[in-house]
Amino acid sequence: MSVLELFDLRGKKALITGASSGIGRTVALAYAEAGAEVALAARHLDALEALAEEIAAAGGTAVPIACDVTRQDQVTAMVDRMTAELGGIDIAVCNAGIVSVTPMLDMSLEEFERIQHTNVTGVFLTAQAAARAMVAQGRGGSIITTASMSGHIINIPQQVGHYCTSKAAVIHLTKAMAVEFAPHHIRVNSISPGYIMTELVEPLAEYHRLWEPKIPMGRIGRPEELNGLYLYLASAASSYMTGSDLVIDGGYCLP
């Protein structure tokens, strides 16, 4: 197999949560371009349908599925529908996530739990459902979680302690799943982006000028700059990698 063939996703079936915008949308487009048939999941069906039409216009196959990843019944139905319509699942990108800026002294229990429920429980439910389907198929697969550099450091000056907590949990959850799922030939890895210009980051414009001097590369990243990592972990090119967390942050965590 040639090195380029290692990255080929033709014949693969990929699920991407949080696909209506940001990183999820960009990864879905990249996977479709690499040949995968994709299931697009998020709460906003209209955005998913528009993305599915864009992928179809380029010659790809996409199934939009409305899903709240904090609801186990909806997650189960999402994976069931994907496997029925696409004929299986080989890749699952557990990407759905939220953030808010609130000092911990002012934070309500409800807000803390809301962040954990989407960012941690949602990842667990999605990965569990995907892994169960992969085990039933008997051909293994790859699960990729979207963590964050915030799982390694504490962001400043914005106060997002609940978000940092959730992403640290995702990294360790990923490692635990990697160990448990390995006998089933299912690899589980996480990607920890730094500041990436998505719909979550754009509204925080007051902080952009404060972040950039602390980034050795001097700028905020673009969603498409993550595609290489997501493709690597989804493909045969990473066949011996599991339980790893790959940081891509322009060097922010280095100093």
Q: How far apart are the first and last CA of the chain?
A: 40
Confidence of residue 203 (pLDDT cuts 50, 70, 90): confident
DSSP string, 184-252: GTEEEEEEEE-SB-STTTGGGHHHHHHHGGGSTTSS-B-GGGGHHHHHHHHSGGGTT--S-EEEESTTT
Of the candidates 31, 163, 232, 252, the residue annotated as catalytic is 163
pLDDT > 90 in the chain, percent = 96
Is the predicted pLDDT of residue 210 greater than 90, yes or no? yes
Q: How many CB atoms lie within 10 A of CB 171?
A: 18
In a domain, 217, yes or no: no
Lowest mean pLDDT among 22-26, 79-83, 117-121, 205-209: 205-209
Of the candidates 20, 142, 148, 235, the residue annotated as catalytic is 148
Can you tell me whether residue 6 is helix, strand or coil?
helix
In a domain, 204, yes or no: no
150 classed as catalytic? no
In a domain, 56, yes or no: yes
Amino acid present at 85: E
In a domain, 219, yes or no: no
In a domain, 113, yes or no: yes
In 3D space, the residue among 72, 58, 69, 63 whose CA is nearest the CA of residue 13 turns out to be: 63
In a domain, 215, yes or no: no
Task: Say if CB 164 and CB 217 are below 8 A apart.
Answer: no
In a domain, 201, yes or no: no
Report the domain count for the chain.
1
Give dist(CA 254, CA 214) in Å, integer.
10
pTM of the entire predicted model: 0.97
Lowest mean pLDDT among 62-76, 165-179, 205-219: 205-219
Range of the domain at 71: 3-194+225-248
| 3-state secondary structure labels for all residues of 28-47 | HHHHHHCCCEEEEEECCHHH
pLDDT in tens, 97-118: 999 999 999 999 999 999 999 9
Can you tell me whether residue 17 is helix, strand or coil?
strand
Is the predicted pLDDT of residue 199 greater than 90, yes or no? no
Task: Give the pLDDT score at 255.
Answer: 80
Give dist(CA 219, CA 211) in Å, integer.
8
148 classed as catalytic? yes
Confidence of residue 64 (pLDDT cuts 50, 70, 90): very high
Of the candidates 166, 167, 232, 252, the residue annotated as catalytic is 167
pLDDT in tens, 10-60: 999 999 999 999 999 999 999 999 999 999 999 999 999 999 999 999 999
Give dist(CA 99, CA 150) in Å, integer.
11
pLDDT in tens, 225-236: 999 999 999 999
The CATH number of the domain where 145 resides is what?
3.40.50.720
Q: Which residue has the higher pLDDT, 205 or 41?
A: 41
How far apart, in Å, are the Cα atoms of 195 and each of 122, 190, 204, 245, 251?
22, 16, 11, 16, 11
In a domain, 117, yes or no: yes
Is the predicted pLDDT of residue 194 greater than 90, yes or no? yes
In 3D space, the residue among 135, 225, 151 whose CA is nearest the CA of residue 188 turns out to be: 135
13 classed as catalytic? no
Task: Say if CB 144 and CB 92 are below 8 A apart.
Answer: yes
Work out the mean pLDDT of the chain and round it to a whole number. 97
